[in-house]
Amino acid sequence: MHGTKWTYLSTVVSFVMQLVLTAILARLLAPAAFGLIAMAWLVLRFGQYFAQMGIGQAIVQRQEISRAHIAAGFWSSVAVGAVFSLAVWVAAPLASVLFESPQLVPVLRAMGLTFALSGTSAAAGALLRRQMRFRGMAIADMAAYAAGYGVVGVTLALSGWGVWSLVAASLGQAAVVTVAYNALARPSVVPVLNWRPYRDLLGFGSLVSVISFLEFVNANLDTLAVGRIAGPTSLGYYSRALSLTGLPLVYMGTSLSRVLFPSFSKIQAETARLGRAYLSVITVFAGVGLPIAFGMSGAAREIVTVVLGPQWSPSVPVMRLVAVGSAAALLSHFAGITLEATARLKEKVIVRLTQLVVFATLLLVLGRYGLTGFALAFVVSESFVYVLLAWRVTVDLEMSASEAIGAHATGLVGGPFAWAALLGESWLGLWLGLPAPIVLAVQCATGMLVLVITSLFVGSGGVVRVLDARTQGVVLWPFAARMLGWGMGVVEKRDKTSA
């Protein structure tokens, strides 16, 4: 829980800094500068799935690791990063032709150096995660963003550097992370001539890269289909709805996953203990995530109107559906981490390949019904994948079906309850002619009430019990500590009454 607190703090602070610095830079730079950077990141994002060959994950996941493994991981990452930087340099003219933007060539070539920089920090970052030193990583990440964009980016933008201020900011951030991670971890960098440690890391890491690529394809398949079949306007409505529902759930999951993977890897041989840890995660995130997702579905009209504006009303029916699929994707993320931590990568590859076939078929069949059809394909695909992954984890960790289903009890009750309550308030507000912001404020209060009630009284107060058990000995922020203490008091009082 110490690591979780620091990773969430880093995420929140970085998000706030991103909002503030983006607002500042947007007033200093032309939109074209941001457009060039967006093009460059689209190319780099594709390469990121293979640029480190999953070596960092392999270092974290191994039960036993030697100095030879660490050194092999360092030099492998350096070599692969350098190769990808060179590949970007060579391929930049082709990318500029595809985007019909000659100005992209020098920008992309410079941005490609991030592969070389990240290659020199991959082993150090993996060691820090393996050693659960998330406080140091969080401070380094926050400092790197502040230095890169807050100091370098803003200073150069004020000096008239244009798009190069953003390039320098990105490289500056990566450089600070590289220096900080290596200073904290001090990995062994003595070259290793024995092939075995390289083989150990690359055997695991290459499969991780394949899985990441398949997840990338599955995550963008619907965007491609909507754009090709329905056109850019429909894609705009679809993508905004997906972003509104996915963003809060992504922030819930990605920060915790940095802690879960090394934590689960450490106990991968203790099947019963790992099973209990996995069920604890699902209990909390199903109990919290499903009511949030279903609540966003019920309040879709108000969220779209307030956040995007009434002209985005075609996004409303899409959001009502994809919100549910986003919750399934969140839970799939945790099941996938568990399979990776126990080195069951082939099972995960099979599931993702199956998803690719199923999702593509659903998009072709349901796409004829417009945006609602595409959204329904997303929901069915993500739900199907979660069932497969959850079933696989349940079998591998020797858990019973009742245990696995019971972990979802709070969410399965709270989710539909939140959806019905918030949708009813939406209809009532529409009938009464109330402004959308007022209705949304009421819906937020109702959603919080549903979340509290179901957490306390459904599934024997499992969500509160897990949070209380996992935060023993951890210094919480005062408000969180008071709320958790109150919740446990309610649960314990109910237990005594029942007895």
Q: Mutual orientation of helices 436-457 and 271-298 as an angle, nearest 10°?
A: 150
Decide which of 470 and 323 is more confident: 323
* pLDDT given for residue 496 in this prediction: 53
Average pLDDT in the 34-41 region? 77
Domain boundaries, the chain: 2-193, 205-457
* pLDDT given for residue 488 in this prediction: 45
Residue 183 · residue 67 · CB < 8 Å? no
Tokens representing 280 are 């604890």
* pLDDT given for residue 110 in this prediction: 92
Decide which of 337 and 98 is more confident: 337
Confidence of residue 99 (pLDDT cuts 50, 70, 90): confident
pLDDT value at 173 more than 80:
yes
* pLDDT given for residue 463 in this prediction: 66
Confidence of residue 486 (pLDDT cuts 50, 70, 90): very low
Query: Model confidence over 207-256: pLDDT tens digits?
Result: 777 787 888 888 878 877 887 787 777 777 887 788 778 767 776 677 67
* pLDDT given for residue 427 in this prediction: 95
